[in-house]
Structure 1
């Protein structure tokens, strides 16, 4: 028997069908080991990484990394060979190495295989090209992990002390966040400039020409702000043709999708978030359980080119469908850091026009398929016409420009209308069906032109598509990390999304400002780009892991020492007892507090007042006079107070941030406890009551009036003679029969603490003013 280990369990059925008998397919379910969750996990001077098994999910067996490895190990004795078939990227290579190491496989006992798609031909090719682990790629992945960990663990505490709140620095996500913060500040600093232009129309509005303002502006004053001058331009009617030109132009199709382009296209065209897009792509790559093959090739790639075999297949398919195929196979220039051996994303079977189990998967598949086929079609052809006209007014020459474009051959646009990854609004220079005019001839406008009121526009906020595009352009991150970058800055509340655009939160701006003030190099885009290039060089065997990580660590240590010596970068708030930094702690549903980050012996806590620490309000315990502490109730809404002194079990209820005085039950002398009332749907009503803690021996209840227990008044029910209770409801006091469970639904209004019949017209008691007034009737005088 041969064993193949893949990452995702959903690949097992498909691969079992492809490989047939004699194979056992098992899944690692992703990473089985990682760096420690609560420790740095990196030792010096060699910067060795210390791994531990990934933790499991509480309550679910076999989810931890060790359990998954042990499950695979059970079958090793029957295996003639183990094939490590994790994903074909650096992270997949690292997972394969962890599996080999954790399983204790010797070199003769394993083979590393990878395939860019889950289909018979690709799997067979992967097995033919089986190899040993590429340790250079493993070291590159370890380098990324080590650098991320060093920045996170060494910088985050310093950053948090500077800001006085828990902040997390990230080697890659912090520069991404800075892009968003810098753009937001550019928008806020932007000042609108109102300016003017002019447009004239010809031939019944078939085409128009725009005033060329270049002769009237300068570098210091780039816009025409003289309305009188613009009005003169708009008033021109008689023109002479200065130049007239018509030429053929062509437009090549966009490249196939790499990961960044796929994320952009899904965001623009399908309005899908990056995380949703990659999950849909993963499902398409794997195919549904029991499928004959996956639907697309591997989706984490930085290549925009296909293999020669894929190119031939796409071109043959397009030709068979009667589509206009380009004369030569199209290829695109790759970025220097593109990973070798990868190809662009394409369908595994072009004849499959629809694929996917969800609408997100189906929409994404259509984009991928159209893009792959269109990339090999002929260019679209156009006839471009440009005319420049001049009009004279009192010795001033006003030139106007008209541009027109007419499609003569749709080419690749027969399949798709444009680049799905492009957020642009098209060419706004086109002014209609512009004719070719004889140079020197005259031309009369339809009538007086139009004065156009214009204004400058602030730079737009980043959408997810625009941010991924910028990250790729600046060399920040790689295909496997784009989604993690976007998710991290959102999950840590550094940005929020408004109308599909990123807006930095106050915390996000504080983080970026603190990093910039401290002059940490990793927040600079140039530094990040260089570091990514060095990781690529590790993968190519040109640099060593230790040299790259050691140099980055040395630079980081210098920066940290500089921060420690800079008095302007001292902690925002210090503990009044031990001078250690104080840190703000916001807890959902709990009071915001400040806590001391010093030694365990100093357990100073302070209250928060508008973002600043203030001494905690102390309320002495009525039993032992120890300062009581406020806590959030685990069950039910609201807060309570408890005495921290050992042996003293005093608990008090809370009202407006202060402990309520202890109240004793008048019947059994046990303590009374305040509770929040709920409606029939078990939702808080905002009302309270009191109950006796004496248990079954005493079932006394009281109403709550301004934080004090008030005895519930009673009266006999006029219908069933059972006891009626006076209760406080959403609309005031009322009386209800205690026999409601037995079917008596009698309720009465309250007036002066006594039950009275409800008045017609709604309302109860004195709370219904309209019900207490006699009704009047207005009559009209009869006409005489």
Structure 2
């Protein structure tokens, strides 16, 4: 029997540590927090505000078995060690464990480590401490404040805006950032200007003619001024005025913090913020990287030595430049480290694809941070124009002389930082001399437009939150996930296709010195996986900003984070801190409840020219809608409704745009005796024919789709849906869906993946059957148990068996009696009753399926004709 029990947060981490510590230690997991605030009831509140903000806790749902097992182990061992994560959440988990397991806080050993390696664990065990009550108080203060603010704001929104809304101290400020960016983009007035670029022809080093580009150092604000400049250039000569050759260098980026890892993984790997943190957590638990929640860029002396050895071994001594990076943030703790590999020489790991890609990113960034600067030679050539004295053409080139850290890694840029004029990497200019006269090939004045800042990505929003001091490394990912939660509907992550835009080009031909004007087209506004503020998000933000200006102020929210840091350092009492914030906030809530008007969210755009009824837009049950007719105008008549398009907003839609929405559905006529209808849905325009909905390409104007084009689309769809073969005498069809190409058989969708080697356009019957058989086999292995009457199943998942309720988005854990994840063999033995018990312990509810009942035939009722409405439509109703 082991003498020591060491408790960590995750089972994966427990297994790794137990292998390192050996037989004297039994390592068990708490599976995260074991206690949480209770739900308010008549008898007891979660937080007793008048009793020093005393929080009342209960064992979290589904954690009773975990707690029982830990209590049993405490009785069996000589000593208990608490080894949860070293941040505030980890400290709080240790404190809760001590309270529940009845451990003495003054004598129970508390250890922490930032990497799961033998030296780090040995060092931690040799230098144990106790639970830091100041860190615990800081965590409790955050939890209590967020619960009070969130609960009271959400209740207020239910009363004053609409039901089932939520708000929070940090999430509402994050939504405000997205809303402000959305409005800035919507109100942005793109101003045209003209950029001038010239192409010159000179003799290269090898005697052959070469071309190079030079840009004018001034833009023109109108076509007239650009034209006038080109006209001046028709009689000009071009002469090299100055050549400057200077050394330049590029520095490597610092090692990753939580925020910079989230940003770079988004830009380079396409990972969401939450995906990055999940993958990093698994890498940490497997002992491959240091702790992934940090705002420090510091590296330990041991790590610096190991990195230096690795660089010398892989790249040579001249690539090494050991350096320690200073933390930019005052709140960053120097004792903490940046995110780095635990073993510098290990450039890959034997895990899943996500883990390998993120690890490689971390390894490269860390290695590059200790490498020499890249050395460049930058050449700038000024070209004088004889007929114009106040401007000049400038050609810039650079040559990489020594790659340094670029041999390993190059940091990516934010979209708003990217500038097409600065893309001079490895652009070599031909040899020239001062005074040399140059031959002009051509000169273009190209119309460009000023651009607003782009919509936020998840990563750029994290960067902004960090810049403003809102949140900490542990809160970025949960905040982003919360504001994008579809149940809240405040922020939408979408890809928008953009539109075509015309622009002008004025060209001066260097040979015949004529100027030509032409119009060209470019596609603009394409945005992939960006964050867009919904109409609901805007309304809620406006309401909160009007009535809670302090809570919604960025500096106020950042100030609370600073106060929590002070509490964590033991320099302020957490109860006093809460008092100073909560009491004035609560008074504002009560005042707003009593005095604020209810938000309607309606916007009347004008009158319908056909009926004279009002046209308005508002938020409906399933999103923003346009409506013809107010209640007082219609009486008992029902209004007409139309969904707004994805890119439309209640704030910016015009009367003309709204009227367009009511053109559809529109019947074009009949094809083969069946009606052809075109319409617009939430996901774009479509043709409806014979029960099928056929998408109209978004690049086409739905108003221009006539009967001939509709029939073309119908025939294309029928051809695409025609069977490509048969399996077991049943047809196989193919198609392109939201998640890519597929073949379909008997309701089974079988993806045509890149790895299959098959192509949608050329797939044969034999190839399709291969995919169908594989899918059937996979589905057979998917279900361990399936109870159709209860709408319940136990399924095999990527991380092991789990419980699934039909039409429930949530997956429920399947745990054995020890509180551990069940194996596949264990899952085969579970009963329906045990599965239902597991669901209930995790706070789920299994709704009983309603049995179908036979309807009695309805009694015939007399039909009466109702008076004609304002729209001229008559309605048939039944007498009641």
Taking structure 1 as the reference length, what is the TM-score of the superposition? 0.68
Secondary structure in structure 2 of the residue aligned to 1:343: coil
- Distance in 1, matches of 2:223 and 2:161, equals 46
Whether 1:433 and 2:428 are equivalent positions in the alignment is: yes
Match of 1:373 among 367, 373, 378: 367
Q: Which has the larger radius of gyration?
A: 1
Q: CA deviation at 1:178?
A: 0.9
Counterpart of 1:164 (choices 155, 162, 165) is 162
What secondary structure is seen at the aligned counterpart in 1 of 2:441? coil
User: Structure 2 residue aligned with 1:174, among 172, 175, 187?
Assistant: 172
Distance in 1 separating the partners of 2:319 and 2:405 = 8
- Indicate conservation of the 8 Å contact 1:198/1:234, yes or no: no
Q: 2:78 aligns with which of 77, 80, 83?
A: 80
Please name the residue that 2:458 is paired with.
464
1:495 aligns with 2:491: yes
Shift of 1:242: 4.0
User: What secondary structure, in the 3-state scheme, does the structure 1 residue paired with 2:440 have?
Assistant: coil
Q: CA deviation at 1:28?
A: 0.5
Distance (whole Å) between structure 2 residues aligned to residue 528 and residue 254 of structure 1? 29
Shift of 1:421: 7.6
SS at match of 1:502: strand
The Cα shift of 1:426 comes to: 5.8
Task: Report what 1:4 is aligned to.
Answer: 6
RMSD: 3.4
Q: Which residue of 1 aligns with 2:190?
A: 192
Report the Cα distance in structure 1 between the residues aligned to 2:860 and 2:530, rounded to whole angstroms: 46
Equivalences for residues 102-121 of structure 1 within 5 A? 102-107=100-105, 109-121=107-119
Who is 2:395 aligned against?
Answer: 402
Contact 1:115 1:122 in 2 (8 A): yes
Distance 1:76 1:399, change over 3 A: same
Once the 2 structures are TM-superposed, how far is the Cα of residue 77 of structure 1 from its aligned partner? 2.3
- Please give the TM-score of this superposition, normalised by the length of structure 2: 0.61
Partner of residue 570 from structure 2, selected from 534, 537, 541? 541
The answer (yes or no) to whether the contact 2:249–2:373 under 8 Å persists in 1 is: yes
How far residue 382 of structure 1 moved from its aligned partner, in angstroms, is 0.6
How much does 1:308 deviate?
A: 1.3
Conservation of the 8 A alpha-carbon contact between 1:195 and 1:453: yes
Q: Deviations over 1:275-315 (max 9, x none)?
A: 1111111111111xxxxxx1111111111121111111111
Matched, 1:228 2:227: yes
- Give the 3 Å change call, closer, same or farther, for CA 419–249 of structure 1 in structure 2: same
Contact 2:414 2:460 in 1 (8 A): no
Match of 1:51 in 2: 56
Counting only pairs closer than 5 Å after superposition, residues 324-403 of structure 1 correspond to structure 2 as 324-393=318-387, 397-403=390-396
Q: What is the match of residue 22 of structure 1?
A: 24
Aligned residues: 579
> Matches of 1:37 and 1:140 in 2, distance apart?
22
Task: Classify 1:83/1:609 alpha carbon distance in 2 versus 1 (closer, same or farther; 3 Å).
Answer: farther
Distance 1:322 1:255 in 2: 19
Deviations 1:198-220 (A, max 9, x none): 11122355422211227x7xxxx
Q: Which structure exhibits the higher relative contact order, with contacts defined as CA atoms closer than 8 Å and separated by 6 or more residues?
A: 1
Deviations 1:514-571 (CA, angstroms, capped at 9, x unpaired): 111213312111111111111111111222211211111123134324424645x446
Closer, same or farther in 2 for the Cα pair 1:233/1:100, shift >3 Å?
Answer: farther
* 413 and 131 in structure 1: CA distance in 2 versus 1, 3 angstrom threshold: same
Mapped contact 2:47–2:56 kept (Cα < 8 A): no
Structure 1 position 459, deviation (Å): 1.8
2: distance between equivalents of 1:299 and 1:280? 10
Are residues 419 and 315 of structure 1, via their aligned partners in 2, closer, same or farther at CA, if it must alter by over 3 Å? farther
CA pair 28-694 structure 1, distance change in 2 beyond 3 A: closer
1:599 paired residue number: none
Write the mapping of 1:576-587 to structure 2, written as runs, cut at 5 A: none
CA distance in 2, matches of 1:535, 1:286: 28
Once the two structures are superposed, the pairs formed by residues 27-46 of structure 1 within 5 Å of their partners are 27-38=29-40, 41-45=46-50
CA contact (8 A) 2:266 2:459 kept: yes
1:170-193 CA-partner distances (Å, limit 9, x unpaired) = 111111111111111111111222
Distance, in Å, in 2 between the alignment partners of 1:235 and 1:681 is: 69
> C-alpha distance in 2, partners of 1:505/1:382?
46
For residue 310 of structure 2, the aligned residue among 310, 314, 317 is 317
Structure 2 CA distance, aligned partners of 1:236 and 1:194?
27
Worse-superposed segment, 155-164 or 189-198: 155-164
Between the aligned partners of 1:707 and 1:73, the Cα distance in structure 2 is 70
Alpha-carbon offset, residue 436 of structure 1: 7.3
Give the drift of 1:152: 0.5
- 1:598-631 CA distance string (max 9 Å, x none): xxxxxxxxx99979xxxxxxxxxxxxxxxxxxxx
Q: CA deviation at 1:112?
A: 0.4
Aligned to 2:263: 264
Q: Which runs of 5+ in 1 are unaligned?
A: 57-62, 217-221, 288-293, 574-583, 589-606, 612-679, 683-692, 709-784
The residue correspondences of 1:508-587 to structure 2 (distance < 5 A) are 508-564=537-593, 566-567=595-596, 569-570=597-598, 572=600
State the alpha-carbon separation in 2 of the partners of residues 484 and 128 from structure 1.
35
Unaligned 5+ segments in structure 2 are: 203-208, 495-527, 602-618, 624-637, 643-745, 749-850, 863-880
**Deviation of the 1:447 alpha carbon:** 2.5
Q: Deviations along 1:675-722, whole A, 9 cap, x unmatched? A: xxxxx979xxxxxxxxxx999xxx9999x99999xxxxxxxxxxxxxx
Any idea what SS the aligned residue of 1:296 has? coil
Tell me, what secondary structure is at the counterpart of 1:449?
Answer: strand
Report the Cα distance in structure 2 between the residues aligned to 1:164 and 1:476, rounded to whole angstroms.
27
Trace 1:195-214 onto structure 2 (pairs within 5 A). Answer: 195-202=193-200, 203=202, 206-213=211-218
8 Å Cα contact 2:307/2:345 also seen in 1 = no
Task: Pick closer, same or farther for the CA change 1:295–1:707 going to 2, 3 Å.
Answer: farther
